[in-house]
Amino acid sequence: MQELPLLEPAGGQSVVPCCPPLTERPMSAAEAETAARMFKALGDPVRLRLFSAVASHEGGEACVCDISDVGVSQPTVSHHLKKLKEAGLLTSERRGTWVYYRVEPSVLAAMGQLLAMPSAA
Amino acid sequence: MQELPLLEPAGGQSVVPCCPPLTERPMSAAEAETAARMFKALGDPVRLRLFSAVASHEGGEACVCDISDVGVSQPTVSHHLKKLKEAGLLTSERRGTWVYYRVEPSVLAAMGQLLAMPSAA
The residues near B73 (Cβ < 8 Å, ≥ 6 apart) are none
Mean pLDDT of B80-100: 93
- B44 and chain A in contact, CB less than 8 A: yes
- Kind of pairing between the strands at A90-95 and A98-103: antiparallel
**What integer pLDDT is reported at residue A11 of this predicted model?**
40
**What integer pLDDT is reported at residue B17 of this predicted model?**
61
Main-chain phi, psi angles of B37, to 5 degrees:
-65, -40
Q: How far apart are CA A106 and CA B81, in angstroms?
A: 29
pLDDT for B41 beyond 70: yes
- B41 and chain A in contact, CB less than 8 A: yes
Contact B95, A83 (CB under 8 A): no
- A12 and chain B in contact, CB less than 8 A: no
The residues near B45 (Cβ < 8 Å, ≥ 6 apart) are A29, A32, A33, A36
Indicate the pLDDT class of residue B63, thresholds 50, 70 and 90: very high
The fraction of chain B above a pLDDT of 70, given in percent, is: 82
**What integer pLDDT is reported at residue B54 of this predicted model?**
94
C-alpha triplet B55, B56, B62: angle, nearest 5°: 65
ipTM of the complex: 0.79
Smallest Cβ distance to B53: which of A26, A44, A55? A26
**What integer pLDDT is reported at residue B50 of this predicted model?**
95
List the single best residue of A49, A51, A68 to mutate versus B (max B Cβ within 10 A). A49
Q: How far apart are CA B23 and CA B26, in angstroms?
A: 8
**What integer pLDDT is reported at residue B12 of this predicted model?**
41
Selection from A109, A104, A103, A115 nearest residue A50 by Cα: A103
Helix or strand or coil: residue A113?
A: helix
Average pLDDT, chain B: 82
Indicate the pLDDT class of residue B119, thresholds 50, 70 and 90: low
Smallest Cβ distance to B42: which of A24, A26, A39? A39
Indicate the pLDDT class of residue B49, thresholds 50, 70 and 90: very high
Task: Name the more confident of B73 and B9.
Answer: B73
**What integer pLDDT is reported at residue A118 of this predicted model?**
63
Indicate the pLDDT class of residue B6, thresholds 50, 70 and 90: very low
Query: How close, in Å, is residue A46 to chain B by CA atoms?
Result: 7
A25–B52: do the CB atoms touch at under 8 Å?
yes
Contact B110, B20 (CB under 8 A): no
Indicate the pLDDT class of residue B2, thresholds 50, 70 and 90: very low
Task: Name the more confident of B46 and A19.
Answer: B46
Q: Which residues pair with B99 in a beta bridge?
A: B94
**What integer pLDDT is reported at residue A51 of this predicted model?**
94
**What integer pLDDT is reported at residue B117 of this predicted model?**
67
In chain A, residues with a C-beta closer than 8 Å to the C-beta of B37 are 43
- A86 and chain B in contact, CB less than 8 A: no
- Which residue stretches of chain A have pLDDT < 70? 1-17, 117-121
DSSP string of chain B, one letter each residue: ----TTS-SSTT-----S---TTTSPPPHHHHHHHHHHHHHT-SHHHHHHHHHHHTSGGGEEEGGG--TTSS-HHHHHHHHHHHHHTTSEEEEEETTEEEEEE-HHHHHHHHHHTPPPTT-
